[in-house]
Amino acid sequence: MLSNLEQQPADALLALIKLHGDDPRGDKIDLGVGVYRTGQGGTPVFGAIKAAEQALIDTQTSKSYLGPEGDMGFVHGLMPYIFGSEDPTMSGRIEGMQAPGGTGAVRLAVALAKRAGVTRIWMGLPSWPNHAQILGDLGVELKTFTHATKAGLADMDALRVAIGLAEPGDAIMLHGCCHNPTGIDYSPAQWDEIALAVAEAKLLPIIDLAYQGLGHGMEEDAYGLRAVLAAVPEALVAYSCDKNFGMYRDRVGAIYVMAQDGDALNRVLSNGYALARAAWSMPPDHGGATVRIILEDPALTASWLDELGTMRARMRQVRARLAETGRAGSIDLVPLGSQNGLFSVLPLSAEQIQRLRSDHAIYMAGSGRINIAGLTAGNIDKFIADLAAVTD
Ligand code: LMR
């Protein structure tokens, strides 16, 4: 039977990690997979994470099983940041469970939506390629609309049309902040409009919040999610700590359910536990427990938020520098200044992306997505010059 399987291509984004690693050129630039890098080009472990990991080693007395919901101290510790400190459970209508990374959370959210009867999910394109992959694997139909205009703004007209075409009971996948791959987020006013439109159309929002704190701040980056949740009766939220705690390979995430009432919430969660049990049984503990220790300790929390602020400020600086440059060859870099998070998309052809790789050792996704954090004071001039060289 197994030899019936057809060869699959390697995941294009993850394959870039190896391609870049194997390139011997000393001036190579990695703008591929979405990890934060310092001005020196490294991705160090947060100081708060190191301290919390030490505390975990010192205090953990057992590695016995937890339940399918994982570490609920971790799940609850994040809630004031996501849903607001005033009423983080929306009066008992929100509860969560731990998931293996943001990918596990998205997968569980889509599987839950499917169990609840959702057959179609609307999503703006381009999106994180794994979104479509997860939908396809779970057999949910993907309905698409254009996320961004050519001028680098959110395409609200396309979104309005899509919501108008959607049927009650369809779901819509929205990026909470720092849109992957475009960096083009909705403004607060646009979020307010979207929240009302999604509620009126009776769609189930699935909000993927994978970069909270990397855009404008922890509170600011939750605006859209909170606006939507305030308008609709039920929603699913997929959360990732990969980037804002720098926990990438430890796979730290959570899924939150907002239901109409406490009874419905318990029923939805029981389905979440059953789906998790059938998939990964329970999430890996180490990362979630580490984040919990940070969130329980005011000094570690302050240290984490401080480091996150430094990351955000550095990415803003890189964006400002690109925007100041104006043009590089035929590429207008000005819109990148007002985009958010790790990513922006450059309008490059496949041939130009290939030339940047082969002739200039610059690695980026095939979509033209660049990881802003891969640019440093030491390589940004080369990047701009090389970009001009391939597009002039
Ligand atoms: C990315 O888009 O680069 C990250 O979210 C990593 C991933 O899993 O794709």
Ligand 1 near 17 CB (within 6 A): no
Helix (H, G, I), strand (E, B) or coil at 144: strand
Q: Residue 230: its pLDDT value, please?
A: 98
The arithmetic mean of pLDDT across residues 358-382, rounded, is: 97
Pick from 331, 280, 363, 325: nearest CA to 34 = 363
Collapsed DSSP state (helix, strand, coil) of residue 272: helix
The CATH class of the 65-296 domain is alpha beta
The DSSP string of 2-37 is GGGPPP-PPPHHHHHHHHHHH---TT-EE--S----
Closest by CA position to 170, among listed 130, 129, 221, 120: 120
Distance CA 391, CA 371 (A): 19
Output the pLDDT for position 189: 98
**What's the pLDDT score for residue 112?**
98
- State pTM to two decimals: 0.96
pLDDT in tens, 106-146: 999 999 999 999 999 999 999 999 999 999 999 999 999 99
CA dist., res. 151 & res. 360, Å (int): 27
The residues that bridge with 256 in the sheet, in sequence order, are: 96, 237
- φ/ψ of residue 27, rounded to 5: -100, 25
Q: What is the mean pLDDT of the chain?
A: 97
Give the dihedral of Cα atoms 29, 35, 40, 46; nearest 10 deg: -170
Query: Is 128 assigned a catalytic role?
Result: yes
> Ligand 1 centre and the CA of 283: distance in Å?
19
The CA-based angle 91-265-228, given to 5 degrees, is 65
Distance 128 CA to ligand 1 centre (A): 7
Binning pLDDT at 50, 70 and 90, where does residue 296 land? very high
Distance 242 CA to ligand 1 centre (A): 9
Residue 333, CA atoms < 13 Å, CB-side half-sphere: 21
pLDDT digits (tens, 9 = 90+) for 232-267: 999 999 999 999 999 999 999 999 999 999 999 999
Query: Nearest CA to 108 among 211, 210, 208?
Result: 208
* Helix 47-59 vs helix 286-296: crossing angle, to nearest 10: 100
The fold of 2-44+312-391 is: Aspartate Aminotransferase, domain 1 (3.90.1150)
Task: Evaluate: CB of 100 within 6 angstroms of ligand 1.
Answer: no
Q: Does residue 343's CB lie within 6 angstroms of at least one atom of ligand 1?
A: no
122 is catalytic: no
**Interval 309-337 mean pLDDT:** 97
- pLDDT of 136 reads 98
Q: How far is the CA of 370 from the centre of ligand 1 (A)?
A: 12
The domain ranges of the chain are 2-44+312-391, 65-296
CB 128 near ligand 1, within 6 Å: yes
Residue 360's pLDDT band (cuts 50, 70, 90): very high
Active site residue 208: yes
* CB neighbour burial string for 27-39, b if at least 16 within 10 angstroms, e if fewer: ebbbbbbbbbbee
Q: According to the model, what pLDDT value does residue 224 have?
A: 98
Selecting among 122, 128, 191, 304, the annotated active-site residue is: 128
> What's the pLDDT band for 25 if we cut at 50, 70, 90?
very high
Q: How confident is the model at residue 326 (pLDDT cuts 50, 70, 90)?
A: very high
pLDDT > 90 fraction of the chain, expressed in percent and rounded: 97
Ligand 1 atom, smallest distance to 32 CA: 3
In the three-class reduction of DSSP (H, G, I as helix; E, B as strand; rest coil), residue 94 is classed as strand
Q: Determine the average pLDDT of the residues in 142-156.
A: 95
Q: Is 180 in the pocket of ligand 1 (CB under 6 A)?
A: yes
